[in-house]
Structure 1
Amino acid sequence: MNNYQSQYNLNKSKIIMIMGGLMVGLLVAALDNSIISTAMPKIIGNLQGMEYYVWPFTSYMLTSTIAIILFGKLSDIYGRKPIIISGIITFIITSIMCGFATNMLELTIFRGLQGIGGGILISLPFIVVGEIFSPKERGKYMGILASVFGISSVLGPILGGVITDTIGWRWVFFVNVPIGIVAVIILMYSLPNLKLPDVKKAIDYLGIITFTLAMSAFFLGFTLARDLNIYPLTVIFGLFLFAALMFVLFILAEKKAEEPILPPYLFSNSIFTLSSIENFLATAIIFGGIVYIPLFAQNVIGMSATNSGLVLIPMLISLTIASNIAGQIISKTGKYKKLAIAEFVITGIGIILLSTMNVNTSPYALVAYSTILGLGSGMMYTVFTISVQNAFSLREIAITTSAMQFFRNVGATVAIPVFGYVINYTMASSAVINLTPKEVLAVSIQNVFITSIVLAFIALVIAFFLKEMSLDENKPVTQEKIPEEIVEKAK
């Protein structure tokens, strides 16, 4: 039993309640992503604007990415409970707003606001699990928590397809309301306000401003780069230059901040740095599948929204199983490096198979290929979070856990517009002039997966350099901070 379990008298029944509350809270955010993936083709048809297909995804990912770091740090100051409750309430309100959107601009804006709540909900539960369980126990409970992504991903496509085909796409957002209310009730009753006792209430305003501006310019530059024939290169280059400047200012601000939102010394740890890169690449790969497999199923094979959702179910079940198995293996062996390598071997095989799809591909082949992708990708949620939590003390768990989710979101934020650019570039290419519309889209999606093959290979190579730190050899969980001499050396 670690410090928090004894401090708050967290017996078995309370832990079950907390885990249940965290899982429902995580479910409300995770469910939304999987539901909208199958509903988006119908949303586009209703609100018009195929050229804006990726904007609701990217606006959500941008704001959730920013929120992960900001509110992870604020939860150090004000406690986990009020932050996670406020995140659920924000998510509920903005879900209602999304449901009432009348055009793509409104939906994009409302999804951006929704991402603030989503960012809180996909990071805080993992922070709590990292704090209330010992290093040896984290693998098992982290796998259980990560399985919510699989559960929601199984329910999401089904609900998204059925709701879209029956009562309309707006209800894919309204369904978040009752789930969110249940999550608030459970967490209000069960979750103690976990809080580090000696954190200074110093908010890093300069870091927040420069970080937000950097991410926003970075995101906007990638998104506009999808349409080089519309937006001049000078504008896009200017956005990237501004983003680079803000990142530099952000780094300088963090070195001087009393309580930085992303301490620079974290990157002096090779496990943290390599795990961050791996999370970035793994998420970029899986999001290519989540976004474009339903599009392929509906617009190339000709399946309904409901059936395109059913196609994703085996992939997401395999993702859930892989996450839980990885957690159990880590808890029993205290090792994670071989799992990291296996993840990208399996993911690479799945991506290679997906890249061979064409207009003649059967739904059964699509299911098989996507299932292999899910089996590899599912390990990510457990392996790299545990590896990083194990490399730092309890005091750094919040920021390191948030950082892992941050790099996952950055991977998706960058991947979606990049893949969108690949789609648009292929569609405009002279090589597809003589093809039918279905064949053009099939070739475009093929190119997305070919791009993902390169990412999977890079990630596999990096996995071999990941340092192994056995959980059995890890020091007991404490609230000690990184020694000042290490911090100063990193600066």
Structure 2
Amino acid sequence: MNTIETLTNKQKNVIMLGLTLSVLLAALDSTIVSTAMKNITNDLNGLDLFAWPLTIYMLFSTIITPISGKLADTFGRKLFFMIGAITFLVGSVLCGLSQSMIQLIIFRAIQGLGCGILMANTFAMIGDIFPPAERAKNSGIAYSAFGLASIIGPLLGGTITDHFGWRWIFYINLPIGFLFITLILITVPTIKNGSTARRSVDYAGTAVLIAGLIPMLLAFTWAGKKYQWSSPVIIYMFAFSAIMLIVFGLIERKAKEPILPLALFKDRTFRVASTSVFLSNASMFGAVLFIPLFVQVVLGKNATNSGMAMAPLMLSFAIASMLSGRVISKTGKLKIFAVNGFIITAIGFFFLTRFDASSTILQINIAMIISGLGIGLNMPVFTLAVQNAFQQNQMGVVTAAVQFFRNIGGTIASAVFGAIMLSSITNGIKKVDLTQFSSSNPPFDFSTMITNPQALTNVNTINAFKEQVPPSAMDDFNKLLLRINDILSTSIQQVFMASLLIAIAAIAISLLLPNHSIQEKQRQNKSKLNIDR
């Protein structure tokens, strides 16, 4: 029997390599698939299900996060990490073997489950293995993998698809996955609480939580796209979700081993951290989702340029995450990074609200760098805060809960921001007087071009319509396109404004974070912990 303290620095470095690779691989599969979807839908004849392989992955990875965190606390972190890794790799192989879109969607759900289990347990495992001072530095390194994945994911996906076929974007996971599984299996100790008592599983709470989350996340995903926000389908899904979540709360109050203990919310650090990460991810999605759209549709740049516009944000995010982790390790200060991170993010988003059709790529890059620095500075903070505030035997559930609220924030924001943009576009289009664009002889009918406001955000749709315009009406088309660009610019600016307001709200919330320092301290349950090789 050994103790955690017997791990050498070399062993800890190997552990961090394995954990960082697991984060990188799981994060990659949320971005790498996007560039291959056109080839996938063409090969599997599934254009009508285009969004589902992406949606289902995020849906299931979000749902499983709080569940796996609690189960890992009960049955062992290393065990559940391995379950997540194997599930992810099995899902990857099955995705590569898919012969229909339905199969791919089912297998992406399996892959998403593996991703959620990996994410929940990776950061909790960092909390297990490393003392508080080292924990901050290594959390920053692991979080930087998210930024790296966002940069190389689309490029890697396109390259692999073009040269080897889309199936290899899934098969490529196998060698990397086997590497980090081997590293973790050999190096990471198994933590036991020393109790021989039979452990209970909150099956009822788990089932009801799943029943409540699936319709809620689907409703936010579909609202404003597949269905109107006011449609009966969306209303019923939200209503059912609300009922299930209320029932979940009642079950958790009486559960012997609750999946998400309601007592966590009595802790100020947990409340502030959960709210802050929700707002952080929500505000970030305003930039991540809509800057590429702005570059392509408003500025008229190609897809490559729109992708490159995001690179400064993700690169500065990755650098800031690593730097903040290292500085926190030395100073022990958390609150200053939380507050200042949100302030810098808000400054970056303020610049975004000033963009219009005359903006340059350089201006966008500067705003992206500022925003990425702010987001990266506070990214590790809140996970570290809750890990420092709770007992060792709650490490998994509190870490997973923070990750869960982070994911929920992004899911809800993407739907709400999309609704804001489309509502603004619709109102703007209603004010367009087409008689101002009828100077050609005979006048060309542009009404079909503005029938579907959502189609105006698609460059391919605009170009397809342009091919139908006769040369005599091309001047009118260009004038109308400028008007539409102004409408689109204004609409996306409203999204950026919403992101700015959320970031400002996050500043106010983060000010409530207790001003505790991360200190080297003895674990309160240290005497109960044993390590098996």
TM-score relative to the length of structure 2: 0.81
Per mean C-alpha deviation after superposition, the further-off stretch among 454-463 and 325-334 is 325-334
**Cα displacement (A) at 1:204:** 0.3
Quote how far apart the aligned CAs of 1:193 are: 2.5
Q: Tell whether 2:293 aligns with 1:295.
A: yes
1:228 deviation in Å?
8.0
Match 2:23 to one of 8, 26, 33: 26
Q: Do the aligned partners of 2:337 and 2:378 also contact (CA within 8 Å) in 1?
A: no
Question: Aligned runs of 1:14-53 on 2, under 5 Å?
Answer: 14-36=11-33
Matches within 5 A, 1:52-451: 55-99=52-96, 108-163=105-160, 170-198=167-195, 200-227=198-225, 233-431=231-429, 434=432, 436=481, 441-451=488-498
User: Which amino acid in the other structure matches residue 28 of structure 1?
Assistant: L
**Which residue of 2 is the match for residue 488 of structure 1?**
none
Identity of aligned residues (%): 40
Count of aligned residue pairs for this structure pair? 476
- The one-letter code matched in structure 2 to 1:466 is L
Q: Quick one: distance in 2 between partners of 1:110 and 1:130?
A: 31
What's the CA shift for 1:386? 0.9
Task: Decide which moves more: 180-189 or 277-286.
Answer: 180-189
With over 3 angstroms needed to count, the CA separation of the structure-2 counterparts of 1:48 and 1:319, relative to structure 1, is: farther
Distance 1:440 1:42 in 2: 32
CA contact (8 A) 2:425 2:488 kept: yes
Structure 2 residue matching 1:378: 3-state secondary structure? helix
- 1:44 deviates by 7.6
Give, in whole Å, the separation in 1 of the partners of 2:301 and 2:136.
39
Which residue matches 1:461?
Answer: 508
Q: Which residue of 1 aligns with 2:4?
A: 5
TM superposition shift of 1:307? 4.1
Deviation at 1:84, TM superposition (A): 1.4
SS in 2 for 1:477: coil
- The one-letter code matched in structure 2 to 1:134 is P
Separation in 2 of the partners of 1:232 and 1:370? Answer: 35
CA 1:364–1:288 in 2, change beyond 3 Å: closer, same or farther?
A: same
Identify the range of structure 1 (420-429 vs 79-88) with the bigger mean alpha-carbon deviation.
420-429
Distance of 1:361 and 1:215 partners within structure 2: 40
Which letter does structure 2 place at the counterpart of 1:478?
Q
The match for 1:487 is none
Residue pair 1:164, 1:305 contacting (<8 A) in 2 also: no
Deviation sequence 1:18-72 (CA, Å, 0-9, x none)? 1111111111101222334555677788889999776544432221111111111
Gaps of at least 5 residues in structure 1 are: 482-491
Q: Report how far residue 262 of structure 1 moved.
A: 0.8
Q: Which residue number corresponds to residue 437 of structure 2?
A: none
Instruction: Identify the residue that residue 524 of structure 2 maps to in structure 1.
Output: 478
Q: For residues 100 and 284 of structure 2, what CA distance do their matches in structure 1 show?
A: 28
Separation in 1 of the partners of 2:39 and 2:431?
26
CA contact (8 A) 2:334 2:515 kept: yes
Give the conservation status (yes or no) of the 8 Å contact 1:287–1:416: yes
| 2:321/2:378 contact within 8 Å kept | yes
Contact in 2 for aligned 1:345/1:376 (Cα 8 Å): yes
Q: Deviations over 1:198-242 (max 9, x none)?
A: 375211001101111111121122233214865763332222221
RMSD, aligned α-carbons: 3.0
Checking the alignment, whether the CA contact within 8 Å between 1:157 and 1:310 is kept in structure 2 is no
In the alignment, the residues of structure 1 paired with residue 103 and residue 431 of structure 2 have an alpha-carbon distance, to the nearest angstrom, of 34
SS of residue in 2 equivalent to 1:35: coil
Equivalent residue of 2:517, what SS? coil
Distance (whole Å) between structure 2 residues aligned to residue 479 and residue 399 of structure 1: 17
Q: Aligned equivalents of 2:420 and 2:40: distance in 1?
A: 22
Q: Tell me what 1:484 maps to.
A: none
Asked if the contact 2:227/2:234 (under 8 Å) is kept, the reply is no
Moved more, 266-275 or 294-303: 294-303
